[in-house]
Structure 1
Amino acid sequence: MSTSPTEFQVTAKDCDSRVVLDHVTDRWGTLILLVLHEGPKRFSEIRRAVEGINEKALAQNLRQLERDGILARLASDGYPSRVEYRLTDLGRTIEGRLRDLVLDLYESMPAILDAHVEYDARHSS
């Protein structure tokens, strides 16, 4: 199915792009993509790298991102089977933009923390 980018409007309630945006930017999606920046990883490696995620949430997010074409699941032949996840070309593009956002966030953290202090001072009673 081929569609034009102008056919999507993320602010529209039923737009498919909203669902994918949620997969990429939800609590775990961004962190999973950032971990896969370093190369293919096994399920257990991703779980250790993304502190706080449980197996169910990781499995759900990996399936969603795979369905979206953002990552690929690679199962090796042999016994025991070895399964790895890696970014697709599309996933590398999206992860790069997320990584840039995270780097901007790191640079902005002193100003953000100052804003927290100022806000809390104004709103404490």
Structure 2
Amino acid sequence: MDSLARNNFPEVDSGLATCFAFSNDMCRAAVGASLDEFVKFARNPIFGSMVNCESWRAEPVNLVGNGGTPTRGAMATQLVHVVSLSGRTRTFIWTLQQERRPPNAGSWLVWQCLAKDKAIELTV
């Protein structure tokens, strides 16, 4: 979130590049599978409210389940409250998954990020 809040430091869209780098393959595929496509996606009004935001605050991480399964790594969620430059407050649900396979084995990567007020319609 610090990178997204200061998206254009040290260079243009470096915050989005950081977010993309910490996303798993499934998340990347959902937004076009390339950094260029992700940058275009991130200009939408919902996700875009995190980019260059005024401020943000994260709640404690919530581990989901019992630490993963034989085929899927552990998952966690975290609520992040964002105040956009326009002053609107929106809460996002970040879901992270611990990777089981190299080269990122053991790393926690972004599995999805949903605006809480849109989460039901996006998952049904």
TM-score band, normalised by the shorter chain? under 0.3
Q: Given the two structures, how large is their TM-score scaled by the length of structure 2?
A: 0.26
Q: Which has the higher helix share?
A: 1
Q: Given the two structures, how large is their TM-score scaled by the length of structure 1?
A: 0.26
Higher-Rg member (1/2)? 1
Q: Which has the higher strand share?
A: 2
